[in-house]
């Protein structure tokens, strides 16, 4: 990304985004206080949200849902319609933002083509359990949520986790429930993550529609073979789940154009497994982890790929290749690589995570905030978003001269999430990537701390072996 | 409401649960602040097959310790002071959550300069009161069960709402 790209990204209004987000904020406020006691203002906010769809296929149903809910009749169907409306607004915001970003970067993106078929998970009773809990939450409002209401989801979540096809729903609900539990008593919370919790609630409700496309397991559209050149790894984590998402450029074996793809591994965990120990939960994919740790390319054969550009990783269909510097990949191949389409349901700004290379900037740190000055324009750097399982620190980012990162958007602003940096520390060049410790930490200080703390994964697995299987 | 708060409330990917700090898990594999109690599971020093379920109740500071089979802890006759299992629980809870968070949850006035589990136990003046071990033990088993669930390579787009944020730096 050059100064000219950044200017294009930051300059000029994004039409309709503010207005859409204001409508969403009205709905989110209704969820804070609960749909059981809306009051005039919040009832008006629901009608305003519904009004945005006047003239569209959703319009009549949304209007009716807002009216009935204001009158005190909150049914499953009404909630689903409004959740669909809220998601559609974010879909439009997502498209405006991603269009701006692609335009600024000059990035070509594949058009969306619906997969022919996808298998439904078929666990309708479990999904009904999810909907009923989400229904209770909406009626009660976040401010009224107590321990009993949070715990009411425990059995449903446990059952969801046991069904591989419902993992997305399970992980999402588990994350939300943990936040509600940790925030109790919510009634007296000073500030409340209203946007976030409404996002999670909306998403969960859409994922738990019976037989709907959202509840289906995505089917790989094709398989791909070729050389995979890694750019970096993004890490996602809550108390009971971790996911790594490897961003890479695929050079197809059949000679087609280079394309951006991702490979993900997600594993259940517990809250006490943090830091470099997280990698041990992903150890069944040694070829992928080895490529991250050793900066190697991978030769893949017949890996299934989803319409979203996500490889469904099979470690046994990959072989370690030559050493490959992600910065070289980013410099040579990233600019011309074809970006994948975004599946309709995933159109939410939170999912925007476009890999870019930024260099030629001056980094400045000010009270914990880091900014890259790129040709006189400031690019905010999200240094909170550095995973504890890797070597990147805010200090290293502030000392950097080149950075591979993901462009993200949240709370009305663009920011860069670093995945790797080239920096100068004590006059020596240093390079650090999020995935450097994928096979174990390489920093002697961190190795010592890990050795002292013991192997938390092994300790808990031993306890599980002794207590769960007797 | 100030501008910073309202900007935070309009963000999708913010941290809500405070980070948990790494600690050795061998002696006290499970600690949680839940159900109005600081509760957890403490390994027996002598018998690898046995664990103790120990807890302090928020507000009253009543404490309890028994085996997972609901037999009372031998080191905790009524009217005595907290046993070593309870001391270990408090110490590990402070490592995991920090003394402030545990004290706030239990509603203990620890005073300035308190930093350890021992400071926390010293600031409480509760009585022995049997709490149900079975509930906590089954929550521990549920906790362990997470490590038995297989991983997946089908992407979970929902995890974009849960970025890994540098804990403990
Ligand atoms: Zn005891």
Could you give all domains of chain A from N- to C-terminal order, each with its CATH number?
1-106 (no CATH), 121-217 (no CATH), 222-336 (2.40.50), 345-433 (no CATH)
pLDDT band at A423 (very low <50, low <70, confident <90, very high): very high
Query: A118-122, A421-425, B1-5: which has the minimum mean pLDDT?
Result: A118-122
State the smallest CA–CA distance between residue A454 and chain B in angstroms. 6
Is the CB of A454 less than 8 angstroms away from the CB of B34?
A: no
> Is A215's pLDDT higher than 60?
no
> What is the value of pTM for the model shown?
0.95
pLDDT score, position A117: 54
Structural domain of B103: 20-143
Q: Is the ipTM of this complex over 0.90?
A: yes
State the smallest CA–CA distance between residue A227 and chain B in angstroms. 19
What six digits make up the tokens of A161? 């986790």
pLDDT band at A469 (very low <50, low <70, confident <90, very high): confident
> How far is Cα A226 from Cα A249, in angstroms, rounded to an integer?
10
How confident is the model over A62-71, as a mean pLDDT?
92
pLDDT score, position B28: 96
pLDDT band at A118 (very low <50, low <70, confident <90, very high): low
Cα of A185 vs centre of ligand 1, distance in Å, is: 30
Beta bridge partners of A243: A236, A266
Residue B126 within a domain: yes
C-alpha dihedral, B136 to B141 to B147 to B153, nearest 10°? -90
Q: Spell out which residues of chain B touch residue A218, defining contact as CB-CB under 8 Å.
A: 154
Residue A185 touches chain B, beta carbons under 8 Å = no
pLDDT score, position A122: 67
Residue B13 within a domain: no
pLDDT score, position A214: 57
Residue B73 within a domain: yes
Cα of B138 vs centre of ligand 1, distance in Å, is: 18
pLDDT score, position A119: 62
pLDDT score, position A226: 98
- Dump pLDDT digits (tens) for A332-364: 999 999 999 999 989 999 999 999 999 999 999
> Is B79's pLDDT higher than 90?
no
The residue among B42, B24, B146, B29 whose CA lies nearest residue A455 is: B24
**In chain A, residues 160-179 whose CB comes closer than 8 Å to chain B:** 161-162, 164, 167-168, 171-172, 175, 178-179
- Dump pLDDT digits (tens) for B149-159: 999 999 999 99
> How far is Cα A28 from Cα A46, in angstroms, rounded to an integer?
10
> Is A247's pLDDT higher than 70?
yes
Q: Spell out which residues of chain A touch residue B149, defining contact as CB-CB under 8 Å.
A: 161-162, 268
- Dump pLDDT digits (tens) for B22-70: 899 999 999 999 888 999 999 988 888 889 999 999 999 999 999 988 8
Beta strand A400-410 with A413-425 is antiparallel
Choose the mutation target among A29, A266, A272, A313 for the interface with B, i.e. most B CBs under 10 Å.
Answer: A272
- Dump pLDDT digits (tens) for A260-319: 999 999 999 999 999 999 999 999 999 999 999 999 999 999 999 998 999 999 999 999
> How far is Cα A275 from Cα A133, in angstroms, rounded to an integer?
33
Cα of B88 vs centre of ligand 1, distance in Å, is: 9
Domain count across chain B = 1
């Amino acid at each position: 990304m050059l100064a000219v790209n950044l200017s294009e990204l930051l300059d000029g209004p994004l039409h309709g985004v503010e207005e859409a987000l204001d409508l969403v904020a009205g709905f989110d406020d209704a969820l804070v206080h609960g749909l059981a006691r809306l009051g005039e203002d919040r009832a008006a906010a629901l009608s305003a949200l519904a009004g945005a769809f006047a003239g569209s296929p959703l319009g009549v149903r949304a209007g009716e849902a807002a009216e009935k809910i204001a009158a005190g009749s909150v049914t499953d169907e009404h909630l689903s319609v409004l959740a669909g409306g809220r998601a559609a607004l974010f879909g439009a915001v997502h498209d405006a933002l991603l269009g701006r970003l692609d335009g600024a970067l000059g990035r070509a993106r594949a058009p969306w083509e619906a997969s022919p078929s996808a298998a439904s998970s078929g666990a309708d009773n479990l999904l009904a359990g999810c909907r009923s809990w989400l229904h209770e939450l909406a009626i009660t409002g976040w401010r009224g949520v107590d321990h009993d209401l949070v715990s009411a989801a425990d059995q449903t979540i446990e059952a969801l986790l046991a069904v591989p096809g419902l993992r997305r729903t399970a992980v999402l609900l588990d994350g939300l429930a943990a936040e509600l539990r940790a925030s109790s008593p919510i009634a007296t919370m000073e500030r409340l993550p209203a946007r976030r919790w409404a996002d999670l609630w909306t998403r969960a409700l859409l994922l738990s529609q019976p037989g709907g496309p959202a509840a289906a397991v995505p089917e790989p559209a094709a398989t791909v073979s070729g050389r995979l050149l890694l750019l970096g790894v993004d890490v996602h984590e809550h108390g009971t789940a971790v996911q790594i998402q490897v961003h890479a450029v695929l050079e197809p074996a059949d000679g087609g154009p280079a394309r951006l793809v991702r490979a993900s591994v997600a594993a259940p965990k517990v809250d006490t497994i943090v830091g470099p120990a997280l990698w041990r939960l992903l150890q069944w994919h040694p070829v992928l982890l080895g490529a991250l740790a050793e900066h190697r390319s991978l030769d893949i054969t017949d890996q299934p790929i989803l319409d979203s550009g996500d490889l469904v990783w099979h470690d046994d269909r990959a072989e370690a290749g030559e050493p490959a510097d992600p910065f070289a990949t980013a410099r040579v191949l990233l600019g011309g690589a074809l970006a994948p389409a975004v599946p309709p349901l995933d159109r939410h700004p939170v999912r925007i995570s476009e890999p870019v290379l930024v260099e030629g900037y001056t980094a400045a740190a000010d009270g914990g905030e880091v900014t890259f000055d790129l040709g006189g324009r400031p690019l905010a750097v999200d240094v909170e978003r550095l995973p504890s399982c890797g070597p990147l620190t805010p200090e290293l980012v502030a000392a950097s001269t080149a950075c591979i990162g993901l462009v993200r958007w949240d709370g009305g602003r663009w920011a860069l999430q670093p995945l790797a940096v080239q920096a100068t520390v004590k006059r020596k060049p240093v390079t650090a990537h999020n995935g450097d410790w994928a096979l174990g930490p390489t920093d002697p200080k961190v190795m010592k701390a890990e050795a002292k703390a013991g192997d938390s994964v092994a300790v808990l697995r031993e306890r599980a072996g002794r207590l769960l299987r007797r | 409401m100030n501008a910073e708060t309202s900007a935070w409330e309009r963000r999708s990917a913010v941290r809500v649960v405070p980070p948990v700090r790494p600690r050795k898990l061998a002696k006290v594999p499970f600690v949680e602040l839940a159900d109005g109690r600081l509760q957890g599971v403490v390994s027996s020093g002598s018998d690898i097959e046995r664990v103790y379920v120990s807890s302090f109740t928020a507000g009253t500071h009543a404490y309890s310790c028994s085996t997972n089979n609901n037999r009372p802890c031998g080191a905790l006759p009524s009217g005595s002071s907290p046993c070593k299992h309870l001391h270990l629980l408090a110490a590990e809870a402070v490592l995991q959550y920090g003394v402030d968070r545990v004290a706030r949850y239990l509603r203990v006035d620890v005073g300035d300069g308190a930093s350890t589990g021992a400071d926390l136990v010293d600031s409480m003046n509760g009585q022995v009161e049997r709490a149900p071990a079975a509930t906590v033990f089954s929550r521990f088993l549920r906790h362990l069960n997470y490590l038995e669930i297989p991983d997946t390579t089908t992407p979970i787009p929902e995890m974009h709402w849960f970025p890994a944020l540098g804990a403990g730096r």
